[in-house]
Structure 1
């Protein structure tokens, strides 16, 4: 079929992106679905900092690629052999699934799956296939999803059914922002009632961590950001305190508030300065959870003697250390119960023509979650 999609041909174009236009809006060809594949009409797709980092070239991507890795839509057709989905199903599109049979998938850590990681790096679907092209030229898939398009062919492992009562523009945010932000609290840290936490970065992912920490029963939930304009909403969603990342007394304040430091510090932005502060505000025996991704070549420093002497832990959490088929239904349930008010993160909706401008707004920290509506 012929459809409209946002294609990135080159990484590293300069901001403002509304002028350099790294995302080209074009008519492309989509094949399929083939055996074991699913055709989804994309109804909403979230614009994420991960998309921004790909555009900036911080991590290499096979190009030309149809962008977008977070979304929701309606199943329109299933290929031969697909049994878990049927036309009409509402689905969340996510990138956290694995092959199901490697050592990591068997150990319930599918985000570490080498087989899927290899396919994504090559710009292919999880099954190693490619269904996108333009005038006979190959186009590649972003993380096996490519949700910045009117339709997407993907595999069942990237889809989780969603209750039809959930608006699809809200459901889209569960594919990355929610599963990453909530998952790092529930899965990586396993925060318990009464523990104290600090969250560095109060964008869409960070605020999902705030909401999850509230559900988990954390005592002090300290939100930290360079943009103080984010503080009122952060407090409404669960932060007990909000502090400026630029305050030179930040570490001292956190330690005084928590009797020596937080049990868990979540670094959401990928900032070196924020990671330094996160380590400093963590108590002895506490954990620093790295969630944000910087450049693939970035190196971070820490005081090794203090790490050993204070028995701190540095831990990474990719996509919330999630198991999508286990975690997303639970998080969607929390939303329906009013415990995870993800709709508060929605900044605006847009058409294809506003995508590049949306990247500029995201880079400035002026928005939380912008949502592309590919089909109007």
Structure 2
């Protein structure tokens, strides 16, 4: 096997975002090389681009993708060329304490947060210079190399655009409901922020039978989309009486509030909205080191819980096939989560749309 040329979106501090030609080496050991067919434009990538999560390295953004295995390393056991896969940006090492507890979403043995493959390196290069994969994937590229644990086989009939979203936003949103919070039928829930993760959270709440399901957002377009995936009520987040509207809808109080924005103000709002004994689930990621004021006495006295949600407490090998099956059976209506289908260069504009909360989840679609 030899290296390939790949067109990729690259972010660097001096140049910003540019489309570049890179070399991507052959897979080694337990790695697989995947031809990407669809890659979502996710808010986590925007944190990198806007400097919320600063890096002085050249990085290929993107971590939400699906594609077809092109080649495999000598130690790969469960995949072969031609398999359709969804990529996970947090593959388990299998050896750390968290993995031993079955909490693979808390793995401390991978190097994703350092933007490295498990061996500490990268498969990308340009003119002999290393270019690194954002969160260990770098999926806004025609080809990626990832460890086998990061490529989960799914049915061939699963559309690549849906598979891409399952790899991050859907796994996070539905997982927050099912895995992290354990919401039961009939419990009242609020979702603050109706971007990709928020929409998936609403779909997950509808799946388990939560009621009412109240969506809050500043965008009328996104609120209308929220109705399409299961919201029973919508509230304009810019209204002066948001809390009163929520109280009128959920007269017995809100059991769960899912914060899918990652802003200090909406996190504080979520804590205020949840009923005594209820739980706030933090899905949205803030800028690094951002602190949130907390009335600790009130939280303790009212028995409120604050649950951190990393990747929807997802075990990719278990949850990705289940989510694919639920989509294919019609249980999860995920088609409306796919926004504009765009080319790789158009991803630059899609990030600007995301900054302005315009449109749905853009998905870069690569050719045959």
Q: TM-score, normalised by structure 2?
A: 0.96
- Partner in structure 2 of residue 2 of structure 1: 5
* Structure 2 unaligned spans of 5+: none
- 1:285 and 2:277 aligned: yes
Q: How many corresponding residue pairs? A: 365
Give the alignment partner of residue 239 of structure 1, picking from 228, 231, 245.
Answer: 231
Counterparts of 1:205 and 1:268, CA distance in 2: 6
Tell me how far 1:286 sits from its aligned partner: 0.4
For the 8 Å contact 1:94–1:175, the answer to whether it is kept is: yes
Counterparts of 1:61 and 1:99, CA distance in 2: 24
Counterparts of 1:328 and 1:190, CA distance in 2: 18
Tell me how far 1:28 sits from its aligned partner: 0.8
- Partner in structure 2 of residue 73 of structure 1: 67
Counterparts of 1:190 and 1:333, CA distance in 2: 20
CA displacement 1:182-216 (0-9 Å, x = unmatched): 11000111100110000000111111111110111
Tell me how far 1:62 sits from its aligned partner: 5.6
Tell me how far 1:143 sits from its aligned partner: 1.4
* Structure 1 unaligned spans of 5+: 14-20
**1:84-99 mapped onto 2 (5 Å cutoff):** 84-99=78-93
- Partner in structure 2 of residue 322 of structure 1: 314
Counterparts of 2:310 and 2:326, CA distance in 1: 22
Give the alignment partner of residue 264 of structure 1, picking from 234, 244, 256.
Answer: 256
For the 8 Å contact 1:62–1:140, the answer to whether it is kept is: no
Tell me how far 1:111 sits from its aligned partner: 1.8
Cα root mean square deviation, aligned: 1.4
For the 8 Å contact 2:105–2:311, the answer to whether it is kept is: yes
- Partner in structure 2 of residue 170 of structure 1: 162
Tell me how far 1:364 sits from its aligned partner: 1.0
For the 8 Å contact 1:28–1:132, the answer to whether it is kept is: yes
Q: TM-score, normalised by structure 1?
A: 0.94
**1:1-376 mapped onto 2 (5 Å cutoff):** 1-10=4-13, 22-61=16-55, 63-116=57-110, 119-375=111-367
Counterparts of 2:54 and 2:12, CA distance in 1: 12
For the 8 Å contact 2:281–2:306, the answer to whether it is kept is: yes
- Partner in structure 2 of residue 18 of structure 1: none
Counterparts of 1:283 and 1:303, CA distance in 2: 15
Tell me how far 1:268 sits from its aligned partner: 0.2
Q: Flag as ranges the 4+ runs of structure 1 deviating above 6 A.
A: none
Counterpart secondary structure, 1:347 = strand
Tell me how far 1:128 sits from its aligned partner: 2.6
Counterparts of 2:119 and 2:243, CA distance in 1: 47
Counterparts of 1:368 and 1:199, CA distance in 2: 17
Counterparts of 1:353 and 1:259, CA distance in 2: 48
Tell me how far 1:96 sits from its aligned partner: 2.9
For the 8 Å contact 2:66–2:87, the answer to whether it is kept is: yes
CA displacement 1:19-53 (0-9 Å, x = unmatched): xx722111111112111110100111000111111
Counterparts of 2:55 and 2:106, CA distance in 1: 18
Counterpart secondary structure, 2:255 = strand
Tell me how far 1:72 sits from its aligned partner: 0.5
For the 8 Å contact 1:272–1:300, the answer to whether it is kept is: yes
Tell me how far 1:98 sits from its aligned partner: 1.4
